[in-house]
């Protein structure tokens, strides 16, 4: 028997998808390889599946927001990623946009709460 998803679950996923790019760009201020990045994000309560992360990393690199290089570490060949200067600028801009958006949403909620009283 298939369990039906609540209608808001799709909306939650859309919201999350947009913030994941920002979380990745911020987390890659320090150089990391994929599994390390997944662990870092999980510790920050921003879990991401490898199947979502690696295509995102390729896309962000194609957009010039990340740089990467292959290296051997601990006897393993790994690809290390880091936000480029453009990626850092975009992360800063997106973070400021998000902060402003959250403030605007909080103001709307306060107005609605006041109107309900």
Q: What domains does the chain contain, in order, with CATH numbers? A: 13-116 (1.10.10.10)
Name the token pair of 57.
Answer: 């990393």
Q: What is the mean pLDDT of the chain?
A: 92
The CA distance from 20 to 41, in Å, is: 9
Q: Tell me what pLDDT residue 77 has.
A: 95
The CA distance from 91 to 94, in Å, is: 5
Give the number of residues written for the chain. Answer: 117
- The pLDDT tens digits for 40-89 are 999 999 999 999 999 999 999 999 999 999 999 889 999 999 999 999 99
- pTM, two decimal places: 0.85
Q: In what side-by-side order are the strands of the sheet with 76-83?
A: 32-33, 76-83, 66-73
Q: Which pLDDT band holds residue 27 (cuts at 50, 70, 90)? A: very high
* 25 burial level (CB within 10 Å; 0-12, 13-18, 19+): buried
Name the token pair of 73.
Answer: 């570490």
């Amino acid at each position: 028997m298939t369990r039906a998803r609540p209608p808001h679950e799709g909306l939650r996923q859309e919201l999350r998808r947009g913030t994941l790019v920002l979380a990745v760009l911020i987390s890659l201020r320090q150089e990391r390889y994929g599994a390390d990045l997944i662990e870092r994000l999980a510790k920050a309560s921003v879990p991401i599946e490898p199947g979502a992360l690696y295509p995102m990393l390729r896309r962000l690199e194609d957009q010039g927001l990340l740089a990467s290089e292959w290296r051997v570490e601990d006897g393993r060949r790994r690809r290390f990623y880091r936000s480029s200067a453009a990626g850092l600028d975009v992360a800063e801009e997106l973070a400021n946009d998000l902060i402003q958006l959250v403030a605007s949403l909080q103001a709307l909620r306060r107005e609605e709460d006041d109107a309900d009283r």
